[in-house]
């Protein structure tokens, strides 16, 4: 994966220590955490430092490539691609609530996907969203993902399994 990805409005770069305050501020939001499988809630500054601290090893091990999504004013969210044991790769993202509905998630995920597709092959990219997360369903559909099924996935914030609609990238055409 490339170190930095540039889009029309965004720069995606590796997370770094100076992102910790912004991550903690934007991630400590029930509307964000409840839609993600691994993000705890409440979310503390220590958790942000721990997450940032893991990134280098995850990258070097080829397990996960996580990017800070930044606009002209700084950190606005995260986007990444994770390798699964079955050979598929999964894309994930979150955007801080003040920045929703500007097209940022779609723009960031499109860049991570294009880079990942070149590296891994389009047929291997999967994703999914909790059943009530219509905005994420829209993002993935816009990117060319199609529904493949459903399963119950653990949600750290809710501390329970939640119905999740699974998707696979059919094509990267828009």
Ligand X SMILES: CC(C)(COP(=O)(O)OP(=O)(O)OC[C@H]1O[C@@H](n2cnc3c(N)ncnc32)[C@H](O)[C@@H]1OP(=O)(O)O)[C@@H](O)C(=O)NCCC(=O)NCCS
Check binding of 155 to ligand X (CB under 6 A): no
Check binding of 124 to ligand X (CB under 6 A): no
Task: Look at residue 49 and give its three-state secondary structure.
Answer: helix
For residues 28 and 106, which CB has a smaller minimum distance to ligand X in the complex? 106
CA 116, CA 82: separation in Å to the nearest integer? 10
Check binding of 168 to ligand X (CB under 6 A): no
CA 45, CA 128: separation in Å to the nearest integer? 27
CA 171, CA 32: separation in Å to the nearest integer? 27
For residues 129 and 168, which CB has a smaller minimum distance to ligand X in the complex? 129
Check binding of 94 to ligand X (CB under 6 A): yes
For 85, residues 6+ apart whose C-beta sits below 8 A from its C-beta are none
Count of residues in contact with ligand X, rule CB under 6 A: 20
Asked if 172 and 143 touch (Cβ cutoff 8 Å), the reply is yes
Check binding of 133 to ligand X (CB under 6 A): yes
Which of 11, 25, 100, 114 is close enough to bind ligand X by CB under 6 A?
100
CA 13, CA 68: separation in Å to the nearest integer? 5
- Per CB under 6 A, contacts with ligand X among 15-74 are 32, 35-36
**Tell me, what DSSP letter sits at residue 137?**
H
Torsion of CA 66, 69, 74, 76, to 10 degrees: -110
Q: What is the CA radius of gyration of the chain?
A: 15
For residues 87 and 134, which CB has a smaller minimum distance to ligand X in the complex? 134
> Closest separation between CB of residue 60 and ligand X, Å?
25
Which of 10, 136, 145, 155 is close enough to bind ligand X by CB under 6 A?
136
For residues 20 and 107, which CB has a smaller minimum distance to ligand X in the complex? 107
Return residues touching ligand X (CB under 6 A): 32, 35-36, 93-95, 100-106, 129, 133-136, 138-139
């Amino acid at each position: 994966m490339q170190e930095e990805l540039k889009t029309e409005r965004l720069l995606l770069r590796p997370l770094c220590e100076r992102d910790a305050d912004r991550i903690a501020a934007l991630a400590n939001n029930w509307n964000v955490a409840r839609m993600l499988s691994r993000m705890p809630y409440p979310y503390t500054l220590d958790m942000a430092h721990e997450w940032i601290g893991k990134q280098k090893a995850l990258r070097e091990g080829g397990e996960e490539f996580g990017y800070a999504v930044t606009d002209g004013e700084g950190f606005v969210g995260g986007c990444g691609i994770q390798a699964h044991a079955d050979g598929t790769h999964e894309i994930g993202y979150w955007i801080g609530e003040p920045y929703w509905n500007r097209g940022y998630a779609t723009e960031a995920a499109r860049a991570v996907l294009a880079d990942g597709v070149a590296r891994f092959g389009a047929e291997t990219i999967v994703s999914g969203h909790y059943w009530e997360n219509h905005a994420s369903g829209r993002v993935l559909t816009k990117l060319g993902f199609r529904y493949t099924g459903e399963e119950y996935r653990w949600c750290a914030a809710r501390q329970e399994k939640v119905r999740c609609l699974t998707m696979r990238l059919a094509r990267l055409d828009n």
